[in-house]
Each structure stands twice: as structure tokens, then as C-alpha cells.
Amino acid sequence: MSKGAPGPQAYEMAVLKAPPSTQAHPADRPDLGFTFATIESLLRCFALLDLDGDGLIQLLELRILFRAFKTGYDENFTRSVLSMFDFDRSGSIEHEDFLSRMALLQHRDPVIFSKLLAKVNSDADNTELTRYTLGCMVKLVTINQLRRRSSLYVRDTPQSTGSGIQYHTIRAAKRAVGLEDSKTAMPTHVQKQLVDERKRTNQRIPWFLYLITVVQVAMVITSLFMNKGIQPIGENLMIGPSNQILLHLGAKFGPCMRPEPWVVAEFPDTFPCPPEYQGTYQPKLPGGECTYYMVLEEKCGMGGFGMMDSIPLQAWRFITPMFLHTGAIHLIINMIFTSWRGLDIEKKIGSFRFMIIFCLSGIFGIAFSAAMTPNQIACGSSASLFSLLAILKIDLFLNWRVVQNPWRHLFTLVAVAVILLGIGLLPFVDNFMQIGGYIAGILSAVILVPHIKISAAGRRWRVFAIICALLILAGIFFGVFYTFYDGQETNYCWWCEALNCMPQGTPWCAGVSS
């Protein structure tokens, strides 16, 4: 025996010294008479239920196991099992808790208990042993509930059902321990995948979101510094700079990103330069004349027109809006959403996958917005954040039977989407970015988000879904960029601007379009 390894006496003393439950009847705490071999057998059963290997059986682990075995138990019953085995009321089941309650099972139903030990000693498959162990736990809960209802020391009426356990659960408990035929079982390889995923998630650090947040905070501070303060609330509710500053820092604006011959045709070849023209990028022509693209380059900032024969082609504006925000409030809203779910998502799927989904969704959302409302100035990482909602929904649908209260989670995700779309009605926050990011996020998540491999048929469907998602994603990327750059005007959607800023025709929305 290695140094520090507990012997049989240590295990038994630990169990005997476990603090008694303040709610348990004295008869529920029999003396333990386990041998060391019995304790080792029971601890093997415990390890099968301890999915993450932390020495505790948590409520989440019981929930996963019950739903994986398709037992049909509701949340109240799952909590009743935890409460029954949580001998010291610590909120989780420890080794001592488990052993003490198994001693109670031996006292109440020695046949079931003996059958469990026989399974362990016969080196049964882990899946079957897990099923038997869960069945023993359920059996003890149901026996205890029926006993309490019939006992004189518990004043319980037929209308008062205590923890809500009904008599029919006894049959389910028998099926769980193999007393009746049961064809449902969680494969061992599925359980191993759950454990491995939990360990990987705990070890990962969401460095990408940390880095993005630092850059976004720095850009908000820079924009306020360049603006020499904040704009009046009537012009920018988000406590931020003017639209001109956002434009100079890389906000989305269609005329800066593509040539628009239909607009150039409305102007003469040259005309007197406006008074505010400073010639930052191109000097005035002889006689103080300017061209349309010279004035536009001054307005857009960031230069680059001269490299393309004075044609606007600032393609980096498909990326830079992801790092900008309209103000401090806009940034705080996105940071709250990021901390609410974004960090957990990155830890679960990995930073590399998360970065690809984040960037693909952001770029497509910006391109979709540029095609639908090219003359509106917009920025923000809303497109990328909407992809997080898409990831959460796909993950929810794939794990619907394992998630606690899935309808509540679905309602929460829908409510968050509605709130963010409502925020998109404010100036400079673009709803088309968010919608585009959501579409690309769903397709990217289908391709990149890892899943639990259950069967060969499931893997084939997964490959089919990935191929379809790749084709659709490539198609919509080609379609939106072709639409934007085909030389035809796309600013003909009369209701698109209303979807981005309301009410139209007010100073509130006047600064958004140019």
C-alpha cells in the first residue's frame, strides 16, 4: 500500500464519523458493517457516477445519467435522489455519503444490494454496472418515501406527497436494476466522451475573447479621445463619439468600400472643393477643384483610394467594425453578453474553433449589412455575438434531453435575441449585421462545434450536415459579396433603414446615413 493510501479501517471510520442528517430518522442511520472488499466494490460504483472524477457526484451528473438512460425522471425526482444520498447536506454526494446510504440499502433490501455486489465482482460491463448502481439509488429513494408515508412518525396525508415521488417509480427502479427487461443503456464510449469534454472545458482558457475585449476597450477610449469627449445624448445615446470619428476608425460605410458609378454620374467631373476639404490624402486640383472620390476619401478617412486609381476599395471595413463600438454603453452591453455565455462557449469548443466562427460570422454580418443598407454607418461586434446565440441554440437542440428545463433556456435565448434586435434600432447599431451573423453562426457551428459521437448512423448524418452547411455557407458568402460588388445599386430597400433606426426622419437617425 502506498504512503498515505487509506486502509479499510480508515474508510469505515470516515463513514462512521459522517455527520448525521438533521432531517433523517434515527432508523435511517444503521451501523456500517462493510468489509474492505465491499467498500472497494461500492467505490467502484461511485466512480462510474462521478463523471468528472472530482470525488463528488453533483446534481448535473445525476441529471446527465438519468436522461442518458432515458429513465423519464423529472427534476424533482433527481433532486430527491441527491437529497437522499447527500447525508451531510453539503449539496453533493461524497464517498462517505454514498457508503452510508448503501449501508441503508443493505438493511432495507439485501437482495438488491447483494445483486449489485455480484455485478461488481463479476466484472460486469461499466454500462450495466452504472445502470444497476443508479437503480439501487432509485430503489432506496422509493422505499424510503413509501416507508415515510406509512410511518407514524411522519404526519403525511395522501394529498401531501412529500418530494413528489409516485408509486409507479418503483417499477422504473426495478427496470433500472435489471429486475425487469430494459433495452436502454448509455454506451461506455458516450460516458467517456462526456468526462473527457468536461475535463477539456475546465482546462481551457478563453484567451481569444479576453484579447478581443482588450482591443475593443482600447478602441472606445481612442474614439472618445479623437472626438475630444462624447457627443450630445441626442446624437449618440451610447455615450460615444460622432459618426465621422467612427468612420475614420473603420466603421462600415458602403461608399468607402466600393465604387458607385450611379452616384458619380450625378456630379460633374470636377467641382469647387468644399470649405472643409483639407487635402489630407490628395491635394486640390488646379483652380481649387476636386473630384467626387477626392471628397469621399477625405470623408472616409484611412486613405487607400490612390492605390486603386482613386477608386474607393477599403475592403478592411469588412473586419474593422468588429473591433469598434458606438460608445461605452454599447461596449458594456456586449461585454455583459460575452461574460454571460461567450466565455463558456469558447472554453467548451476551444479558442481556435471559436475564433473562426467569431470572424466568419462577423465578416458575413458586415457584408450582409453593406449589401442591404450601404449608406448607413454601423459598427460593433453584434454580428459575431449573434453567432454565439446560434451556437447556444444548436447546442441546446443537440442536447435537448440532457439539459435541465430546455424550454426555459430556449425562451431565454429568444428573449435575448429580441432585446438585441431592439437595441439594433438605435443609431449605428445595425440589425442586418446581427441577422447576418446569426445565419453564418448557425452554419459555422454545424461545421465546427464538436459533438458527442453516439452511433455510426449519427456520424454519417453529421458528415452529411457538415457538407450541406459548407456548401450553403460558401454560397451565401459568394452571393452577398457578388451582390455588393456587381456595380449595381443595392440601396433600394425602402424598409431596410427603418429596421436599423427608428423613428426615421428625426435627428436621432439623421447622422446614421450619409
pLDDT in tens, 243-268: 889 999 999 998 888 888 888 888 88
Q: Is it the case that residue 222 has pLDDT exceeding 90?
A: yes
Phi, psi (degrees; rounded to nearest 5) at 271:
-155, 160
Q: Are residues 350 and 294 in the same domain?
A: no
Residues 122 and 177 in one domain: yes
Range of the domain at 48: 8-188
Q: 53 or 346, which is more confident?
A: 346
Q: Is the pLDDT of residue 167 over 80?
A: no
Q: Is residue 214 part of a domain?
A: no
In a domain, 158, yes or no: yes
User: Of 318, 347, 377, which marks where a domain is finished?
Assistant: 318
> How confident is residue 391, by pLDDT bands cut at 50, 70 and 90?
confident
Q: Please indicate, yes or no, whether residues 275 and 338 belong to a single structural domain of this protein.
A: no
Cβ neighbours for 256, distance < 8 A, ≥ 6 positions apart: 247, 296, 299, 300, 302, 312, 314, 317
**Pairing mode, strands 271-272 and 289-290:** antiparallel
Count structural domains, the chain. Answer: 3
Q: Give the bridge partners for 271, in sequence order.
A: 290
- Among 289, 318, 347, residue at a domain's last position: 318
State whether 372 and 487 are in the same domain.
yes
What pLDDT is recorded for position 309? 60
Distance CA 84, CA 98 (A): 10
Cell of 419: 432585446
With a cut of 80, say whether residue 507 has pLDDT above it: no
Window from 14-23, 93-102, 125-134, 156-165 with minimum mean pLDDT: 156-165
Helix (H, G, I), strand (E, B) or coil at 272: strand
Q: What confidence category does residue 482 fall into, taking pLDDT thresholds of 50, 70 and 90?
A: very high
Residues 165 and 100 in one domain: yes
Cell representation of residue 378: 454601423
- 294 within 8 A of 310, measured Cβ to Cβ: yes
Could you tell me if residue 307 is inside a domain? yes
**Which amino acid is located at 72 in the chain?**
G
CB < 8 Å & 24+ apart, contacts of 72-79: 72/172, 73/138, 73/169, 73/172, 75/404, 75/405, 76/163, 76/164, 77/141, 77/163, 77/164, 77/165, 77/169, 79/163
Cα angle value 25/26/29 (rounded, 5°): 105
Helix (H, G, I), strand (E, B) or coil at 496: helix
Helix (H) / strand (E) element for 290: namely strand 289-290
Give the other-Cβ count within 10 Å of 331's Cβ. Answer: 23
Domain presence at residue 230: no
The reply to whether 193 falls in a domain is no
216 vs 5, 26, 281, CA distance in Å?
51, 61, 27
In a domain, 199, yes or no: no
> Is residue 484 situated within a structural domain?
yes
Q: Are residues 48 and 110 in the same domain?
A: yes
C-alpha cell at 45: 460504483
**Of 130-139, 342-351, 395-404, 470-479, highest mean pLDDT:** 470-479
Q: Which pLDDT does position 184 carry in this prediction? A: 38
Residue with cell 439501487: 136
Q: Are the CB atoms for 401 and 485 separated by under 8 Å?
A: no
Give 105-144 pLDDT, tens digit per residue.
888 888 888 888 888 888 767 888 888 888 888 888 877 7
Q: Clarify whether residues 385 and 251 are in a common domain.
A: no
